Chains A and B, each alone.
Chain A
Amino acid sequence: MSRINKPRIKHKHSRVNLSKPLNFTFDGKPYIGYQGDTLASALLANGIKVMARSFKYGRPRGIVGSWAEEPNCLVQIDMGAKTTPDLKATQVELYEGLVAGRTSGWPSLAFDLKSIGGHFSRFMPAGFYYKTFKWPAKFWPLYEHVIRKAAGYGASPIEADVETYDHKHHHTDVLVVGGGAAGLLAAQLSGQCGASVILLDDQSEMGGYLLSTPNTTIGGKNALEWRDSVITELQSLPNVQILTRTTAFGLHDMNMIQAVELLQDHLPHHQRNAIQRRERLHRIRANKVVLATGAFERPLVFGNNDVPGVMTVSALATYFNRYGVACGKHTLILTSNDSAYQAVADLAAGGVKVTLADVRDNINAEWDAHFKQLGIDVFTGFGISEVLGSNSVTGARLSKLHPTNPMENFEKDLLRRRVVNVRDISCDVIASSGGLSPTVHLFCHDGGRPTWSDESLAFVVSANGRANAGIYCVGAVTGEFQLQKGLEKTVQTTQEMLASLGKSATNTMALNTNEIAPNPTKAIFHIATSKKAFVDFQNDVAVTDIQLAVRENFKSIEHIKRYTALGFGTDQGKLSNVNGFAIAAEALGKTIPEVGTTTYRPAYTPVSFGALAGAHVAETFEPRRYTAMQASHEQFGAEYETVGNWMRPWYFPQNGEDMQAAVNRECLAARNGVAIMDASTLGKIDIQGKDVREFLNRVYSNSWSQLASGKCRYGLMLNEAGMVMDDGVTACITDTHFLMTTTTGGAANVLNWLEKWHQTEWTELEVYMTSVTDHWATASLVGPKSREVLAKLCSDIDLNKDAFKFMEWRDGTVAGVPARVFRISFSGELAYEINVDASYGNYVWQALMAAGKAFDITPYGTETMHVLRAEKGFIIVGQETDGSVTPLDLDMAWAVSLKKPFSFIGKRSLARSDTVRTDRKQLVGLLTEDPTIVLKEGAQIINSSNISPPVAMFGHVTSSYYSAFLGRSIALALVTDGFKRRENVESIFAYAEGKAIKAKIVSSVFVDAEGARHHG
């Protein structure tokens, strides 16, 4: 047997292609790796040990794991707009030209300033930041700035993402999560009986741990051959879909699984397809879910166990067998179970010098013989009390474990009795195994809890524990860590799962393996030491931190977690959980199941915002609705505001006007000449049936019994608590046909509301409701000259003011187009709302513009609409109201009919003790002492100019504008006992942004209180 002398080895089962070298850089230096490497395996092959600095103490850190469990080596991939922070080097596939940066270590990896602090780490226990930087509270922002800089990991990209993402929705009979041995078998059995199957795995190829243990045989076949034969069959089945590089990161109600597929990140930049997506989010609704998520190996916890070169046995075996990288020339392996033995044998057979320490006193005879043959030194009943070395492992101190309580400090006792039971071993890599921790994350996302198994020494899930929800578990996640037994149980569980789908499957494959039956694992989690022993590397949580948290009376594991940061960050319990729980249990004097687990929540691994957003970004973030007149608005230079998805013209600046100048001009045109607004967005509900009047009587606060055909009425809609929820004008078309308008934003809610009452309470009423918002285009022609403009286009409606009165409607033609014209006004001016088939909307708008040209017709937007209505004291639902305002608070008793026989929605509530109070907040007008000051909307109403707290507040400004027509500012406000204050014209102050502005309380109607203008 030849000894190896460099990390990269030739290996017949290695997945790395040594004939395809790849150039990459890490932390600014160039390196060479090979096709099939991960960044981690390539760095290890280049002899790099220190790849990161720890979070709190700045201690040097190296690779610990081989996949998603890696706690230390977070890297920044790429630069500029494509940069991605905090990827695990173990999960980054190497490609030609890859640029990777460190995410920790300042000023450099070789020297981290925090490591000076690390020497004083006993002064930085759990809760250090809470305790130290708490006082004075106002300095926290300053502390936080410095702490965040010191602690930070990778940098978020600051440029807009140039990549694209999408979503794909699936419905499938069976989803198998995990492509290890158990997952492959479950998918094969499911596929064979014709079920639609999706099999996904987060790695670049299927196989799971089989890739790391190629000397295992299944049914007489080498593990990789067995894998290949199953994959070949799966690929031949049209009902089976295989997804690699796809991580199921969330399991939600009713078997909705979200999985993200990396489509291009593994390719060199020049091979990436610019029009292809970077990542795809799969949203999979599965009838049955089979979780074959496997397990992560947990390390044992011992002194200085964070020195670079200390890793898990499974990671060591993976680098050796899968990537052809020997992490060291002399390896010390410490284990509490037999799962490490195959790795010991593989490494020794591959030329690595191996020393084995087993915390148990006895070793399986078959393995013992094998180890002797391979020349392996074996220490039984020993643990590692301390790792030697600082920037990399140089050796370890082995010490004999206490026979009954291995976690108790035994050393002093031994020294006192002069027992020579300490051995210093020299080595350059140390790997430990404390047993396996099933990857139960997905199982727990929707409320499932794992159970503790004393036999497996792990939190496990049962094979059919959630069968009623369609969730089945196979393989190591169930705590069955032996391959053959695991596969046999997989057959059984899959058959049960398929039977529930009405299908039957028969396994025809031989599943016998070459495993040696293992001895039981020893329940040991940490080994006594006087050195710092880390449980959670990523968050620098040591055994002593957990013990301190318990001493400080944290009793719930959820609290201990938050106080110490155990399992925070990307770890999420993958590596640190069980050791942390066990150490907490020991300190609390409880058993591990009594302590329980923390809560597993999505996402299992970090997911990019891009994948979650998919195509719902920028232009396609939210649908935009445009009215039929959009082309005209565009031509006239509209600025827009969004109202309930509608893009409504806000104002139309001309010749470089600012907003205020445009609004002033538009307002004056409406009051003095003629102006035009697009009112198409108002919600319109067509209501028909013999009981429409009665229905309206019930849902509106005013009466509809007498409204004749050809007339309209304004209505207030209340909720059952008596509060205003919507308003609008409704027209009586015929006795059994009404057209209701709603606010733009409330249209959909109002229709739901009406339908709910009709379907649940008043099924006897014959009414049919149809949304017709999009069917009509509406132009509001507003101003004293509006009649003259309309007359030029409309000859079949008598526009005489006595023939076509305010609050009436007529059918006719406008510009030759059939139109329904309403004489209603939201501005207080003479006004006509001209409704035409939406297809003619733009044509009629342009005809009105042409007809109005001689009168200098002026288009206006929502801002002018607001000013005009505020001048009249007309409310906007949602601005003057907030769900706590009754019609009486708005001084709108005229819109409430208490005489109607049916108790309309909200009526009873208007008589509750709170709603009948006369000192409620009531709607009033405000006029500032200085007419040029426009109050801030939302300003608080206070009694005096004294603004030093506490200050009593008794209302707020709801609307505030500059009125060009009045030549001064106006405002509306909800003020406690406002009506009485209005009577007395009381002075108040409106406070906002440090200023208290004096104003007097007046009527909310500022223009034309007697209504002469709109009747004109």
Chain B
Amino acid sequence: MFVITCPHCCEAREEEEFHYEGEAFIARPVDPEAESDEAWGDYLFTKKNPKGWHWEMWNHATGCRKILVLKRNTANHIIAGSWTLSDARKEYDNERATA
């Protein structure tokens, strides 16, 4: 029962307007054929699934239909923020650089 702020609409809306789209920033390998079975399997099936902060994608499905990124704590459901994909990428990279 989250309230999610859509960074595209700049509106806080009920969770039922959104559709979960999985972990964010899993890049598709540029040349899949060059990937080993193991590396490709990792891309397909291995997810972080942390207890704690998680960067994840949501689709504002009954709103603007755009993908956004949430940083959400899976243990207590606190949402640290929501961003467009490109803005979130900067936040995410900053966080990893300072960690």
Contact = CB atoms under 8 A, between A and B. Distances in A.
Contacts of A373: none
Contacts of A253: 1-2, 77
A760 B21 CA distance: 11
B65 A755 contact: yes
A555 interface: no
Interface string A243-258: 0000000001110100
A913 B37 contact: yes
Contacts of B2: 253-254
B77 A912 contact: no
Contacts of B28: 720, 761
Contacts of B65: 755
Interface in B2-57: 2-3, 14, 19, 21, 27-28, 31-33, 35, 37, 40-41, 44, 57
Contacts of A912: 37, 40-41
Given A285-B14, A761-B27, A907-B33, 16 more contacts: A253-B2, A254-B77, A256-B1, A285-B3, A469-B78, A720-B28, A752-B19, A755-B59, A756-B57, A760-B85, A903-B31, A903-B32, A908-B40, A909-B40, A909-B44, A912-B40
B67 to A, nearest CB: 5
Contacts of B78: 469
A759 B67 contact: yes
Given A254-B2, A720-B44, A761-B28, A756 B67 contact: yes
Closest 9 pairs between A and B when the two form their complex, measured CB to CB:
A908-B32, A256-B1, A252-B1, A903-B32, A253-B77, A759-B67, A253-B1, A254-B3, A761-B28
Contact of A756 (B33, B41, B59): B59
Interface residues of A, number: 23
B61 A752 contact: yes
17 contacts: A252-B1, A253-B2, A254-B1, A254-B3, A285-B3, A447-B75, A447-B77, A720-B44, A760-B57, A760-B85, A761-B28, A903-B33, A907-B32, A908-B32, A909-B40, A912-B37, A912-B40
A964 interface: no
Contacts of B3: 254, 285
A977 interface: no
A447 B41 CA distance: 35
Interface in A759-787: 759-761
Contacts of B33: 903, 907-908, 911
A907 B21 CA distance: 22
B47 to A, nearest CB: 13
A700 to B, nearest CB: 16
A908 B65 CA distance: 29
Interface in A238-280: 252-254, 256
A446 B59 contact: no
B76 interface: yes
B85 A759 contact: yes
A721 B41 CA distance: 9
Contacts of B32: 903, 907-908
A756 B21 contact: yes
Interface string A891-934: 00000000000010001110111000000000000000000000
A958 to B, nearest CB: 25
Contact of A446 (B27, B77, B85): B77
Given A285-B3, A903-B31, A907-B32, A760 B76 contact: no
Nearest to A762: B28
Among B28, B33, B57, find the residue whose CB has the most chain A CB atoms closer than 10 A: B28
Interface in A581-639: none
A768 to B, nearest CB: 12
Interface string A425-465: 00000000000000000000011000000000000000000
A913 B75 CA distance: 37
A909 B44 CA distance: 9
A595 B71 CA distance: 34
A289 B79 CA distance: 18
B67 A760 contact: yes
Contacts of A252: 1
A947 B7 CA distance: 60
Nearest to B75: A447
A253 B76 CA distance: 8
Interface in B41-99: 41, 44, 57, 59, 61, 65-67, 75-79, 85
Nearest to A720: B44
Contacts of B67: 755-756, 759-760
A254 B12 CA distance: 12
A252 B14 CA distance: 13
Contacts of B1: 252-254, 256
Nearest to B28: A761
Contacts of A759: 66-67, 85
A298 B59 CA distance: 49
A907 B66 CA distance: 26
B59 A908 contact: no
Nearest to B77: A253
A413 to B, nearest CB: 51
A759 B58 CA distance: 12
Contacts of A756: 21, 57, 59, 67
A897 to B, nearest CB: 14
B29 to A, nearest CB: 8
Nearest to A448: B76
Contacts of A469: 78
Contacts of A721: 44
A913 B33 CA distance: 13
A907 B78 CA distance: 38
A760 B69 CA distance: 11
Contacts of B35: 908
A756 B57 CA distance: 10
Interface string A104-134: 0000000000000000000000000000000
A752 B37 contact: no
Nearest to B61: A752
Nearest to B76: A447
Interface string A527-560: 0000000000000000000000000000000000
B97 to A, nearest CB: 22
Among B32, B61, B65, find the residue whose CB has the most chain A CB atoms closer than 10 A: B32
A461 to B, nearest CB: 16
Contacts of A903: 31-33
Contacts of A911: 33
A426 to B, nearest CB: 56
B8 to A, nearest CB: 11
Contacts of A256: 1
A755 B57 CA distance: 13
A54 B79 CA distance: 47
A769 B86 CA distance: 22
Nearest to B29: A908
A528 to B, nearest CB: 43
Nearest to A285: B3
A252 B3 CA distance: 11
A752 B59 contact: yes
Among A285, A759, A761, A907, find the residue whose CB has the most chain B CB atoms closer than 10 A: A759
Nearest to A912: B37
A903 B32 CA distance: 7
Nearest to B19: A752
A611 B37 CA distance: 52
Nearest to A254: B3
Contacts of A254: 1-3, 77, 79
Interface in A701-729: 720-721
Contacts of B85: 759-760
Contacts of A907: 32-33
Interface in A733-776: 752, 755-756, 759-761
Contacts of A285: 3, 14
Interface in A215-244: none
A908 B21 CA distance: 22
B32 to A, nearest CB: 4
Contacts of B21: 752, 756
B53 to A, nearest CB: 16
